[in-house]
Structure 1
Amino acid sequence: MPKSKLILTGDIFRPFLVNNRWESATWKNVRWLNGIIGSAASLAGWEVSTVSWDPALTRDHQDVDVREIYDAVKLPLNVEGWCGLISQPALPASIESRLLSLFGADLVVGYEMPEHLLRLLNRAGIAVIDVVLHPVRFLDDIIFALRTNRQDIHARLLRHEIQRNEMVRQAGFIKAKAAWMKPPLSLSPGALLLLGQVDTDRAAVDTSTGRLRNLADHAEGLLELIVRSSTTLFRPHPYQPTDSKSFALVKRLQSVRLTNANYYHLLSQNEIETVCALNSSGLVEAELFGKEAVWLAPPCYRFGTDQPEETGYGAAVAQDGAWYTPAFWEAVRLKTGLSEEHPVPLTPNRLRRSLNADWAFSTIDKVVA
């Protein structure tokens, strides 16, 4: 009996400039996914391979000719071209056919897959699981949310959902600790915290126009917020260049104070009542800390428990530690009953270590800070 086939992939279209050469911005994500899921799925009886823009790989791998795709839609292979590509309503039929030929599998699992690929695989009747980094980064470990186009898989994801109450509870522990710490800044009640973002992040792409959003697009609304606030702080993203359009706007607003204080320490300050950003994941965390969150743009992902629609995907469900175990992938392969599904606690910092990133958590998590 042939093994069930599982293909791992990611955002195959997104470019990144390295030494004057454009390469995949996400090849590391797919390799990471192969280490986390590929290993577990192989142990669970799946035949695992990868499809990505990663010519250095050869074994159990099919490379995507991304330049061919950009040439077909007459767009340059750069960030501007990428924004235009993912904003198009559809890809040429010849490109869709070529892509589909790479994904002959029983199940495709991707790391934050592009909408073009999600729609293509769904129309072809292929089962899909999309693995999305969850906005909440202050639990015992980094968590991911999974979404799918299959009702049976979605039902299994719901059995491993991390509830919002657990996130609120952990935010409470962080606020409790902050009560013993020296405040990062002197503030008055009614303060506003403005968050920066990576200017070329996928969340910044306005697919209705094909351009990158920035805070300057919302200057009038921001000024109204600033006038109503006792103090306004701007916390830039660590990877946000100081010559970006958003940063340039903030520099012109002389009443705005720049801060690089720990984000969770800031959220724990009662004086900060409102947090504003384009659509930063930090807004989700702010709400869990009891702040008013002002979204200037729609969120990039839909998180929750909504069922898959007939022609699409369900919401991305926040997951406990089951999704990277062989038992989970064996259950998906064999379609076993849900009665055997039990919560799997997070292993502290397991995924944090694997991602080699902690998003400011370790600073606030020290026994004595």
Structure 2
Amino acid sequence: MANTIQFSNVFIASDILSTSMKEQDSNLRWLQDLFSRPLSNGSGVAVAVASRRWNDAFGFERERFFELSGMAVDLEETQIFFEASKVADASIDYFRQHFPPGSVIFGYELSAATREVIDRSGLTYIDMWLHPIRFLDDLLFAFNSNDHEFKERMSSFELPEELSYVYAGRLRVQMYRGKPRISNDLKPHSALYVGQTLKDKAIASDRGMLSLLNFCPEFDAAAQRYHHIYYSRHPFVKNGDEKTLSYARGFKNVSLTENPTYMLLASDEIEFVFTISSSVVTEAKYFGKETQYLFKPPVRIYSDDGYCSLLHNYLFSDFWRYVFSGGERPDARSINFIDGRNKVRDMLNWYWGFRQIDRLEGLYNNVSSLLARKG
């Protein structure tokens, strides 16, 4: 598509169909601040935002789209599931009307159904997801496109997978030799089950939002196979999962753990890591664990059909100029930060378990907490 159609516009979007407008607009603020300039410079065409809050001329209505297909969905839910195969041609026509021919939709965490709608509309997308590996010096993003040449050019900047093995190996040693060093009282021949939030695009399905209760046979099999299962509850979940917890506590060899995730992954006692769709299972591979997704990961990496793993280059105009037009490929080192450590992590305030493995971040967090208590 890239070589046959003159691109007319680039639209910066969140998931325009599966995600609530409140959540879309929250993401679009930082997306447009980061990407409007490099996408415009790189593509040579106008860049607009696919939201009426940020773009008065954008008239697309999610409610109308689903009405035209006779789908009853709760638009106030942060994430919804819908089957793209049930989207009527009238909805596709309505969607297409709001994007001029030749438009590229630069989308943040587009669901599979939304990507299929864009495909059926004859439009091009570039999809960006938060990368599942989060223990490197900064956060990565994962990119994909339905345009083969776009994908190929982006992939030429992919970070080597070897780095993930190297960093995981470093953490394994750090947990017993370095600092922070974690006290290990785990039982040998154990498994780790990784819990998730109760409502998320990664667990949305035609059965509703999935929970461990949808996978009781698989959990039961793990409990029989391993001496112990450590259940790691998602730190953001404080209530609403009582039935799931009651089920898990019904096993004599299952216990809840509050140990840091990376300490668990770095421990020899944990041999198997499983989850519905948490990115932790992708990370566990690099620590040498046996892994299982009970559902599916939202993003696959380092595979023929997977997303490419990019660090920082995507913030620069020359990167996008090459992606859109080809020509001479820029040196990846010339389109990077002077010092790339924690630039995205600090900017978005996305740390999760990183504070437990990084001495400076851990120190900063502890001092901040002490000052806050004194204040």
Indicate the TM-score class for this superposition, using the shorter chain for normalisation. 0.7 to 0.9
Instruction: Return the alpha-carbon distance in structure 2 between the equivalents of residues 330 and 191 of structure 1.
Output: 49
C-alpha change, 1:101 and 1:210, in structure 2 (3 Å) is farther
* Alignment correspondent of 1:107: 104
Note if 1:220 corresponds to 2:217: yes
Unaligned residue ranges in structure 1 (runs of 5+): 17-22, 307-313
User: Are residues 82 and 138 of structure 1, via their aligned partners in 2, closer, same or farther at CA, if it must alter by over 3 Å?
Assistant: closer
Q: Is the 8 A contact 1:10 1:112 kept in 2?
A: yes
Match of 2:86 in 1: 90
- CA shift for structure 1 position 341: 4.5
Q: Which residue of 1 aligns with 2:332?
A: 342
CA distance change for structure 1 residues 227 and 119 in 2, over 3 Å: closer, same or farther? closer
Equivalent of 1:71 in 58, 67, 71: 67
Whether the aligned pair in 1 keeps the contact of 2:139 and 2:311 (CA below 8 Å) is no
Number of matched pairs: 348
Q: Which moved more, 1:174-183 or 1:156-165?
A: 174-183
The alpha carbon displacement at 1:261 in A equals 1.9
Letter in 2 for 1:224: A
- Structure 2 counterparts to residues 3-152 of structure 1, below 5 A: 4-15=8-19, 23-44=21-42, 45-52=44-51, 55-58=52-55, 62-72=58-68, 73-78=70-75, 83-84=80-81, 86-104=82-100, 105-152=102-149
Residues 107 and 88 (structure 1), Cα distance of their counterparts in 2 relative to 1, 3 Å cut: closer
Amino acid in the other structure paired with 1:354: M
State the one-letter code of the partner of 2:58: Q
Residue 165 of structure 1 deviates from its aligned partner by 0.5
CA–CA distance in 1 between the matches of 2:287 and 2:252? 28
Return the offset for 1:218.
1.7
The SS at the match of 2:352 is coil
Tell me the SS of whatever aligns to 1:26: helix
Name which of 173, 177, 202 aligns with 1:176: 173
Residues 10 and 332 (structure 1), Cα distance of their counterparts in 2 relative to 1, 3 Å cut: same
Please give the secondary structure, in 2, of the residue aligned with 1:25. Answer: helix
Preserved contact between residue 131 and residue 145 of structure 1 (Cα < 8 Å): yes
Q: Is the 8 A contact 2:187 2:269 kept in 1?
A: yes
Cα deviation digits, residues 185-244 of structure 1 (max 9, x gap): 4122211111101121111123xx342221112222212212332222111112234322
Q: In 2, distance between residues paired with 1:15 and 1:93?
A: 21
Q: CA deviation at 1:365?
A: 1.0
Could you tell me how far 1:250 is from its partner in structure 2? 2.1
Of the structure 1 ranges 96-105 and 241-250, higher mean CA displacement relative to structure 2 is found in 241-250
Q: Shift of the alpha carbon at 1:279? A: 1.9
Provide the TM-score with structure 2 as the length reference.
Answer: 0.83
In structure 2, distance between residues paired with 1:316 and 1:289: 21
Distance in 1 (CA, whole Å) between partners of 2:122 and 2:217 is 46
Contact 1:10 1:114 in 2 (8 A): no
- Which is further off, 131-140 or 291-300? 291-300
With the length of structure 1 as denominator, give the TM-score of the two structures.
0.85
Is the contact between residue 7 and residue 103 of structure 2 (CA under 8 Å) also seen in structure 1?
A: no
**Structure 1 position 328 matched with structure 2 position 319:** yes
The whole-number CA distance in structure 2 between the counterparts of 1:256 and 1:125 is 50
Higher fraction of strand:
1
What code does the residue aligned with 1:164 have? E
Shift of 1:157: 1.4
- From the superposition, tell whether residues 241 and 63 of structure 1 become closer, same or farther in structure 2 (CA, over 3 Å): farther
Measured after TM superposition, the shift of residue 274 of structure 1 is 1.1
The farther-off stretch of 39-48 and 349-358 is: 39-48
CA 161–78 in structure 1, closer or farther in 2 if over 3 Å, else same:
same
Deviation for aligned residue 1:79: 7.2
How far residue 345 of structure 1 moved from its aligned partner, in angstroms, is 5.6
> Sequence identity of aligned pairs in percent?
23
Maintained 8 Å contact 2:212/2:276: yes
Q: Which residue of 1 aligns with 2:193?
A: 194
Query: Offset of 1:15 from its aligned partner?
Result: 4.9
Residue 19 of structure 1 corresponds to: none
CA–CA separation in structure 1 for the residues paired with 2:77 and 2:7: 41
Per the alignment, residue 282 of structure 2 pairs with 284
Partners of 1:25 and 1:146 lie apart in 2 by 20
- Note if 1:230 corresponds to 2:227: yes
Q: Is the 8 A contact 2:111 2:201 kept in 1?
A: no
Shift of 1:26: 2.7
Q: CA deviation at 1:255?
A: 3.4
- Using the TM superposition, name which of 68-77 and 275-284 deviates more: 68-77
Give 3-state SS (helix, strand or coil) of 1:179's partner.
Answer: helix
Query: What is the rounded CA distance, in whole Å, between the counterparts of 2:321 and 2:262 in structure 1?
Result: 38
SS at match of 1:273: strand
Structure 1 residue 282: Cα displacement = 0.4
Give the aligned partner of residue 151 of structure 2. Answer: 154
Distance 1:342 1:272, change over 3 A: same
Contact 1:8–1:49 under 8 Å retained in 2: yes
Distance 2:165 2:214 in 1: 32
